[in-house]
Amino acid sequence: MCGVYRIINLKSDMAYVDGTDDAEGICASQRFRLDLGMHPMHSLQEDYSRTGLELFTIEVVETCDADELASKVEDWKRRSKEEGLSLYR
């Protein structure tokens, strides 16, 4: 099952939004990468390493079909900005 997931830094109000073809396992996978210091978004990794899990949420925000995934990711990036979050780049 595909889906959109979001990692939010509760301290800085920054978010990382991406899509996956494994909505069921993505939260554990992302936490594992962050815990090991191996997340590909370096600025997110730096913040996580500095502050720890307690100030982050990792969640699947929507599931969808594969052909909808790219547009759903863009929708959630827009929604995150509308919620007042800045996006990790």
- Model pLDDT for residues 20-33, shown as the tens digit of each residue: 999 999 999 999 99
Identify the CATH number of the domain in which residue 53 sits: 3.40.1440.10
Mean pLDDT of the chain: 98
In degrees, rounded to 5, the angle at the alpha carbon of residue 40 between the alpha carbons of residues 37 and 43 is 75
**Number of domains within the chain:** 1
**Domain that includes residue 38, residue range:** 2-87
Whole-model pTM?
Answer: 0.95
